[in-house]
Structure 1
Amino acid sequence: IEALGLPVFATVPLVRDMPRQRPGAPPPILARDMPRGLAAEAFRSLRTALRFGLIDAERRSIAITGPTPDAGKSFVSLNLAMVMAQADQSVCLIDADMRRGQLARRLGLPDGLPGLSDYLAGDTELDAVLRPAPVGGLSLIPTGIYPPNPSEMVMRPRFAEMIEMLGRRFDCVIVDCPPLLVVTDAVIVARAVGATLLVARHGCTAPGEMAAAMRALDGAGRPAHAAVLNGFERRHARPGREEGYYGYGYEAAVRRD
């Protein structure tokens, strides 16, 4: 990744011994449920790197995405937001994946809550879509009802205005975006935020995919700020796969992010 010219702010190790959950419960959140683990410590290192790396950013807001759906961008977004909130920062986490976003469920919130799509459509006000998360200092804006035109919705001036308003109310705004090489949403979001993080998954994300994602952001005039290497497992390192195409829509699929 660094050979491509992108600094790596954190390397998150693969965690195999996840806490057992009762049937139907949301999956564990490492920063909350395994706070002493190496993975949680990696997110604290990322928090520190961003604190200094974003000093000169015009806005204290971060878009997090990856080249493809299997990179782990939602995992990184949620755990980064959690460790920031644990450090007494006020954090707003936005689920801007209006095709398959599931952050509300992962935080134990009910389905069907009004969210980002409802606000961008002008159907509700900002305070009506801000939801307190089960950790002090963290708020969530869920996706809302999945719209038929998510890319067009984030292009509306109302989205950039929302990021500006939230930036005045919170210490940090984190936007979980769809993957870059599948849909254009993340490129549009990158133009409204202060920095963009690219997530690569060890053993899954190919260098060519990272390079293509970087080119997409460069073309929008908002280069990637840094990368996160997710799921690192030294003993099982293997060459990356070739670039490919991915279905990413409304159909049922196995989620790996």
Structure 2
Amino acid sequence: MPDAQLVTLTDPRTPAAEAYRALRTNLMFFSLDKPLSRLLVTSPVPGEGKSTVLANLAVTLAQGGNRTIVVDADLRKPSQHDIWHLDNQRGLTTMLIEDAEMANPAIQATSVPNLSVLTSGPLPPNPADVLGSRRMDEVIAALAERADYVLFDAPPALAVTDAALLSAKVDGVILVLRAGMSQRDHAARAKEQLERVKAPLIGTVLTNARYDAPVGSYYSR
């Protein structure tokens, strides 16, 4: 049974699910000249829906016939294993420290064709150092060889430096905001922090936004 957060699977005809498909289309048009195959999703602070956005975007990419890997790079409060109901004994951290894992990473299949997940694995004492390491570059390269898209779920940008460090290793960064919750100064500070490290910030996603009744009635048919 798909997790309730995966609206693209549980209720694919809703405006919310269609919004994720629109996001997929926008990303593909954005990257016509330079493909965005390695994407990082973060938010200014916790609770804004970054992990849910990433998971649903991954579903739409996979449904479009793209080999997609979700990587839980939130090595402080990982959640992708819960969303996908997967074991988390091995994952990104074991790939970072065990050479054998580079050739045979602990990527787990999901019920969605073309979509697999590399969970966080055991949490390290120094997440920022791990994510900013040269070994992480090697991990990203190894994963990129196995997929058309690799999506990284990173910690909130204002909480820790992890997202800023990891942003230098990807093709694009998406900042997730939540309507009715996100504060304007938090969004501005997160944007400034990412731009300070020359992160390839390509846009924002607004979650929990209201939609017009005529739009809802159209998609409920």
CA contact (8 A) 1:59 1:167 kept: no
CA change 1:164–1:57 in 2 (3 A) is farther
- Using structure 2 for the length normalisation, give the TM-score: 0.89
1:4-19 equivalences under 5 Å are: none
- Cross-structure match for 2:76: 99
The letter of the residue matching 1:121 is: I
Which residue, out of 164, 168, 184, partners 2:141? Answer: 164
Q: Distance in 1 between matches of 2:86 and 2:108?
A: 9
- Cross-structure match for 2:218: none
CA change 1:152–1:113 in 2 (3 A) is same
CA contact (8 A) 2:131 2:166 kept: yes
Shift of 1:58: 6.3
Give yes or no for the alignment of 1:130 onto 2:119: no
Which residue, out of 165, 169, 172, partners 1:188? Answer: 165
- Cross-structure match for 1:115: 91
User: Which blocks of at least 5 consecutive residues in structure 1 are unaligned?
Assistant: 1-20, 236-257
SS in 1 for 2:105: helix
SS in 2 for 1:51: helix
Q: Distance in 2 between matches of 1:123 and 1:161?
A: 11
CA contact (8 A) 2:72 2:78 kept: yes
CA change 1:50–1:58 in 2 (3 A) is closer
Shift of 1:223: 4.1
Shift of 1:107: 0.8
CA contact (8 A) 1:57 1:195 kept: no
Which residue, out of 171, 182, 191, partners 1:205? Answer: 182
CA contact (8 A) 1:121 1:153 kept: no
Shift of 1:123: 6.0
Q: Distance in 1 between matches of 2:105 and 2:170?
A: 22
Shift of 1:104: 1.3
Shift of 1:28: 4.3
The letter of the residue matching 1:172 is: Y
Q: Distance in 1 between matches of 2:99 and 2:210?
A: 46
CA contact (8 A) 1:214 1:223 kept: no
The total of aligned residue pairs comes to 211
- Cross-structure match for 1:177: 154
1:1-257 equivalences under 5 Å are: 26-57=3-34, 60-110=37-87, 112-122=88-98, 124-126=100-102, 127-233=104-210
- Cross-structure match for 1:12: none
Shift of 1:184: 0.7
CA contact (8 A) 1:85 1:138 kept: yes
- Cross-structure match for 1:241: none
Q: Percent identity?
A: 33
User: Which blocks of at least 5 consecutive residues in structure 2 are unaligned?
Assistant: 213-221
Shift of 1:168: 2.7
Deviations 1:183-232 (A, max 9, x none): 11111111000000000000111111111011111111114110001110
SS in 2 for 1:169: coil
CA change 1:185–1:165 in 2 (3 A) is same
Question: Is the helix fraction higher in 1 or 2?
Answer: 2
CA change 1:91–1:66 in 2 (3 A) is same
CA contact (8 A) 2:172 2:202 kept: yes
- Using structure 1 for the length normalisation, give the TM-score: 0.77
Q: Distance in 2 between matches of 1:155 and 1:53?
A: 27
Q: Distance in 1 between matches of 2:137 and 2:126?
A: 17
SS in 1 for 2:98: coil
